[in-house]
Chain A
Amino acid sequence: MTGNSPASEVVLEVADLTVGFPSDDGLVQAVRGVSYGVRRGEVLGIVGESGAGKSVTSLAVMGLLPRSAQVSGSVRFRGRQLLGAADAELNTVRGRNISMIFQDPMTSLNPVYSIGFQVAEAIRAHHSVSKAAARNRAAELLELVHIPNPRQRLDSYPHELSGGMRQRVVIAIAMANDPDVIIADEPTTALDVTVQAQIMESLQTAQQQTGAAMVLITHDLGVIAGQADRVLVMYAGKLVEVGTAEDVFYTPRMPYTVGLLGSVPQLDRPGTRLISIPGAPPSVLHLPAGCPFAPRCPLVVARCTEKEPVLEPTTGPEHLAACHRSAALVGAAPGDVFDASASAVVESGRDA
């Protein structure tokens, strides 16, 4: 899974992480044996549909899952085991070595405390500095994420800021203590497209300033394309494809990845038919045997419903895919694999 290149160290290593939630109808297996590693300075993108288990994975790393969750596996930060650690120990890591940015900026900030207070709070949680010093640092951080008039904004309340600005405050909080890992959980999903670019830029700043490893979770391939060094594709709680961004985007070896790529409109290739993957993601409550993607896969064979495929190297040792039919995808375009006959056509920009 992770190559052990001596160049930069692996700061976060997740091994065989499994998360289940008990419910009225049984155990919901949200994450089923996920393993990955991130190095300092690297951007790891985790892609998948809603409900694939991406957010749950990160919350498990941070130790922020509800108490009823059943978690097993291993999460190591610089060799330290985080899973099952006491709250007091986790609190030294949270917000200091590993920080997180959540999806909805409108609800991420406490409405009754000022912006300055909430940023300074992050600093003072891990460093004993004076209120004034923390306040100064807070102003610096706000400036770094391009919030106009940072000094005045310190006394503003969250409801006085737009969604984009609030998310930037959250980013400032995340980078406050120079973390080694920043986890961004769908940071742009709740925002307008025009604001997305600004947020991605702020995230880049955060990463460059701190030199941290970034885990970028999203269901939007466009967001991944420009930012990620490596990509993990998740489906039904498991990793189905792992590789560098180039590997995954240009030579996908799992039909689900192919389908995802084919459903993204590309303005530089007008006339391309968009494909849609038929069916819906499976209920992770009672997963049947075999590959969870089998019901929707056009390349399915009998073997697919009997045995769940494991991640195996495809084009190279660092590019892994969990599919029995990877070989069939060599040189295939999305339109070859999925039926595109009744779907939308990408128009060129000239008409309309």
Chain B
Amino acid sequence: MPITTAKGQGSPWTFLWEIKGVLLIFSLALYFYSLASQLEEFSPPGQLGPAFWPKLSLLFLMIGCGIKAGETFYSRRKKSAPEEQTSVSPPANFLKLGVMIGLIILAVIGMETIGFLLANFLFLILFMRVAGVKKNFPLFLTSFLGTIILLFIFVKIVYLPLPRGQGIFNDLTIYLYRILHFI
């Protein structure tokens, strides 16, 4: 039976599309629930065991997903005017978002491989460029000074052993630290 809703909302597929996030969370909860069930073999006799709490939380998570799906279903039925269905957040530029997320992931990989100094400098340049800083001189100056100041604070003052990178990059970072009098 088709869902009786406002215009453009008649198909159950559109409802399923609306709750795609909820369905994803529900599926993951179900998967982890099956994993948690495997922990029951570690339960001492007469005790709840290590599987009890994760299973309980996942069960309630699935119930939460059901409630959310129900809320979405009833809100669809209530809504009659299209203007009521305004988005919570303003529209996003998904290309820009994807690049920014990619840069964050690359920054973490870079910290491990080429060291914090180089990774941070490159990350600042690229991220600020993607975020909309157009002029080259302020971009490079901010990234350069920012990296130096951060290194001074965390390496020289706080003595935080920020990653130096692997192989040649480790040697390069040490060389740059020496030039900057950080070690």
Asked if A and B bind, the verdict is: no
Binding site for A on B (CB under 8 A): none
